[in-house]
Amino acid sequence: MERSVSTGRYSLDIENRLPGFTETYPKGVQLSDDVKQLLDHSRTTRQALTFDEVTLEDKPSDFHPNDCSLHSFVTRNIRLKSCGILSAAMDTVTERDMALAMAKMGGMGILHRNLGAQEQAAMVSWVRKKIHYGGMIDKPITFSPNDRYSYLQNQIANKGWTFTSFPIVDEEGKFLGLMTRDELEFVEGTTNPLLSQLMKPLANVVTAPEGTSSDDAYKLMQTQRVKKLPIVSSTGVLIGMYVWNDVKQDQRKRDFFSLDNEGHFLVGAAISLGQEDMHRADLLVQSGCKVLVLDSSHGACAPAKEQIKRLRVKYGDRIDIIVGNIASYASAAYLLKGDHRPDCLKVGIGPGSICTTRSVTGHGVPQLTAVYEVWRAVKDHGDKTGYY
């Protein structure tokens, strides 16, 4: 480690190792002795560092850039493909279009909470339904055989649906037939027939049994040359449906997208620390949101811990919880203490280019030191408990 006389910046001798991350959550991220020496020295002398005060020294590398993986965990369970880039939960930054763009680029957008709970939940649904990548649609929109042609057309127009294939089921959910664009296009004049008269009946529809994988669905659809493949249980109940355009998507693109465990685009959403926002959390989880961010300028507080507990008791491990913002060892240790813990700590008080928190309130820690202090707390906690 050297410090430049002309610039005052530190130059770090970083260990030369092949960049990469494990497929499962690692037991703590390791730092080289050189890095720890610098940051520990700053800590003991009560000095703090920003990123602008540190540069990285070049070193020989005996691997190819294509061998490097930037995939990284942003929570204990979610691994992003963009080296963990998230867009901020700010009303000037992340709404549905930004969240969709982030997911397409391998990151994740966090929808801000400065809007109604129903509107925020609707944004989550909108982003997720922009793709169902290679997976089965587990809740396809269905119609009754007693519905009329005009009702179906009105629903398509009013809902703004861009798809025109719908399973027809009875009151018990049993699959009876399939409506597609072909059946809709050949209705003549002012006639308004029942869907039971228009649909392709079960006997003429290729179906597959419950448990059919996306790979098996792809092979069957390719062999049978069908674009829709309803999945039906042994009792005839509709379980879901595969769509050809989904299962045939270019695997290169799939590998690039951020997808949840159901094959939808990954999106997170912010909520406040109050109990009244549990209603917002309910709507978000119902819409398929997998990540909730407890959004506060001072994340290490009693209301944050209480909200974490409420979410854990109600949803368990169905969701990942991010909490912040914090910038110190003590704050991280406080949030990790107890039986109900977050899956990610959001670090940074006042580091943003337009943020005035530090200058106005005198509150905050230069970001490099803040990250290191939180890392120390997480590592110490993990070494003792196994929870990193």
Q: Any idea where the domains of the chain sit in the sequence?
A: 149-248
What is the distance between the alpha carbons of residues 180 and 190, in angstroms, rounded to a whole number? 20
Q: Quick one: pLDDT at residue 356?
A: 82
Contact indicator for 241, 142 with CB cutoff of 8 Å: no
Please state whether the predicted TM-score (pTM) of the whole model is above 0.85.
no
Q: Quick one: pLDDT at residue 6?
A: 46
Between CA 212 and CA 219, with CA 214 as vertex, the angle to 5 degrees is 90
Q: Quick one: pLDDT at residue 5?
A: 42
Find the DSSP H helices in 105-139. Answer: 117-128
Q: Which residues of the chain have pLDDT under 50?
A: 1-2, 4-7, 10-21, 250-251
Residue 176: which H helix or E strand, with range? strand 175-179
What is the distance between the alpha carbons of residues 376 and 239, in angstroms, rounded to a whole number? 48
Q: Quick one: pLDDT at residue 28?
A: 59
Q: Quick one: pLDDT at residue 379?
A: 93
- In CATH terms, the superfamily for domain 149-248 is CBS-domain (3.10.580.10)
Q: Got the DSSP string for 207-241?
A: -EETT--HHHHHHHHHHHT-SEEEEE-TTSBEEEE
Quick one: tokens of 348?
Answer: 């940074």
Task: Return the amino acid letter for 140.
Answer: P
Q: Quick one: pLDDT at residue 262?
A: 84
Residues sharing a CB contact under 8 Å with residue 177, sequence separation 6 or more, in sequence order:
145, 167, 168, 196, 199, 200, 201, 202, 205
What pLDDT, in 10s, does the model give residues 252-264?
Answer: 566 788 988 887 8
